[in-house]
Chain A
Amino acid sequence: MKAAIMFLSYVLFALIFVNLFADVSAPPTNQDLPYLDRSEIGARWAGMAGACIATVDDGSAAWLNPAGLGKIRRIELVGTLVRSNQDIDVNWFGVKSSSSVGSMRFQNISISYPFPTYRGSFVLSGSVVRTISYDQYLNRFANPNFHDIEERKAVVSAWIGAFSVEILENTFLGAELHGYSGMFKSTESYSPWSNECEKGVFAQDGDLSGYGATIGMVSSPYPLFSAGFVVRTPQRITFKGNELYTETDDGHGGCKLWEYPTRYDIDLPYSFGFGMAVTPLGFILGADMFYTDWRELECPLGTRDSRGNYLYDQTLDIRVGVEYTFPQIPIRLRGGWAYLPQALNLFDMKKDENRVSLGFGAIAASSLSFDLAWIRSSFEREIAEEGEPDKRYFEKRTTDRALFSLAYRF
């Protein structure tokens, strides 16, 4: 009987994985889509630079690795706030400009309920997670007579229902289903080359909706070692709103502003994550890899350039984190480093995106824990025309984020 069940489970997982890698085709874009954002969720895991697939064991697991929910023993309520600030320095045609934008938002709120069990573990969780919290203000020319300002804001919340079950001793399987809701607003205003219009505008403003799912597993085959994986299905995001743009009406007197309703779908591709952790006394050392083939992105704006090359590439994120728990005082410290290649390959990367993080956690009255984390990410990129150094476009982005999580276990 046991052998039959094992055989059936192997067949089942084989079918799932064959289906995962089945056809996904791709059309193109020339934009820095906010949907490519890969932010860390939860202050504790942000403090470890997001290296948590094998170790996550709180409500954030609903999004990060649902299998980790199975480790929760007490009813838990957790919430996170995030403050972010992004600085962008640009040098274009020899003109330098700097832009800065900041925001403060809640990142997640989650409640997890572990069912009483005689053996094993079964945990249900409901969460709202801001999976995309994107603010950008980019002024490429700091010049009143000639400007190119790009302002973009995207806030997407995933409403998650998740569960985790212990399927073997120390092995958990979890899954989550989520629906998206949010908004997207983008305004690009520029000085048009034509004299017909004083101001050029292209703007989008509307609501986002969508859905997706994640399955995950985590296992501790030995006391000091655990490993886990995550498979994130394609995420469908639908934009429904208005587009507005200027159009030169030659011969009939100047410019017109056109506004019309728009609806389009964006399909984010599969993502696969794998993580390991070793836990010698006092330490949690975690390392994650996360693979996404952005060439499979489907977007009506297009994902290929005029020569048919992909504008988006594969990415393999690498995250490493460490946490130390003090034995005598209720405090733990953590730090991490992450390497995240850019998905958009329209630019030449001068310096790939690196993230460094620091974190701190404490507990009060054995039931209330809080965590603080600071994480800085930066990268540099450029577009250099051969033989025309004056047309060089250079951009440096630095983002600082501070996260604060509060969790209560009843």
Chain B
Amino acid sequence: MKKILWILLGVFSAVLIAGCYTVIVHPRVEDTDGSSYRTRYCSDCHASADFYYWHWPYYDRWYWSYPHWRSYYCYPWWWNDYWYWKGDTSGPTWQEPRYFEERMRPATPVLPGGSRDVGEEKKTQKTSPPGQSGADEKQKSQRPRYFDERKRPLSPNKPDTEKKQSGKEKGSEKQEKNTEEEKK
């Protein structure tokens, strides 16, 4: 019995030590600008969002290479509302099947043994629009790598400026292409 108590003491202490790495509860953050928008991006507050966001354990990277098993092993269940959110006003759509393609992973992991990117299609969607200012480029370079790759829709309460803007930019991109073709 004494030994069991020792083990229990050891486990309990180990859990206390473990708290140094695993972060379960995020400190409550008050909105500073008075708006109703509540940020959900860690990188909105943390310079290094890697610290507070999901990292890529090695075994996740391994399973990531296998599309059939990716959803099963790699996606935390609490990410579901990220992946099923449809548009700005609708709620999460749980009825949809859990295919990995429908879950827009914010980052593409570096695969062991090479730099083959699995989420190639998503990457192509995330190319920055032309005509960005130098300041924007500099700011972008300081962001975590997945900041610009993230595809999660905006909060329903937030003005949809960002999306509209990106839509305009896409439109302008198309216009530029069209003008180039006309010139040719």
A positions within 8 Å CB-CB of B: 5, 8-9, 12-13, 15-16, 19-20, 22, 57, 71, 73-75, 114-122, 163, 165-170, 173, 175, 177, 211, 213, 215, 220, 222-224, 226, 233-234, 279-281, 325, 327, 329-330, 363, 365-367, 369, 409-410
Contacts and interface: CB of A to CB of B under 8 A. Distances in A.
Contacts of B68: 329-330, 363, 366
A366 B97 contact: yes
Interface stretch (B31-39, B59-67, B143-151, B161-169): B59-67
17 contacts: A5-B17, A74-B76, A117-B23, A118-B42, A118-B53, A119-B22, A120-B18, A165-B18, A170-B58, A173-B18, A213-B8, A215-B11, A224-B58, A226-B59, A233-B7, A279-B62, A366-B99
Contacts, number: 155
Nearest to A18: B6
A234 B22 contact: no
B41 interface: no
Nearest to B103: A366
A80 to B, nearest CB: 17
A169 B98 contact: no
B15 interface: yes
Interface in B68-92: 68-78
Contacts of A71: 57, 59, 73
B73 A118 contact: no
Contact of A215 (B7, B22, B24): B7
Contacts of A117: 22-24
Interface string B131-160: 000000000000000000000000000000
B127 interface: no
Contacts of A173: 14-15, 18
Interface string B112-132: 110000000000000000000
B65 A327 contact: yes
B4 A213 contact: yes
Interface of B: 3-4, 6-8, 10-11, 13-15, 17-18, 20-24, 26, 42, 51-55, 57-62, 65-66, 68-78, 97-100, 111-113
Contacts of B99: 366
A410 B24 CA distance: 20
A220 B99 CA distance: 28
Nearest to B25: A118
Contact of A330 (B7, B24, B55, B69): B69
B65 A281 contact: yes
Contact of A74 (B58, B59, B75, B113): B75
Given A75-B77, A166-B18, A16 B10 contact: yes
A114 B72 CA distance: 13
A12 B14 contact: yes
Contact of A114 (B21, B70, B77): B77
Nearest to A121: B22
B16 to A, nearest CB: 9
Contacts of B23: 117-120
B58 A363 contact: no
Nearest to B6: A19
B59 A220 contact: yes
Nearest to B77: A74
B4 A119 contact: no
Given A168-B21, A325-B66, A12 B10 contact: yes
B78 to A, nearest CB: 4
A346 B42 CA distance: 64
A169 B11 contact: no
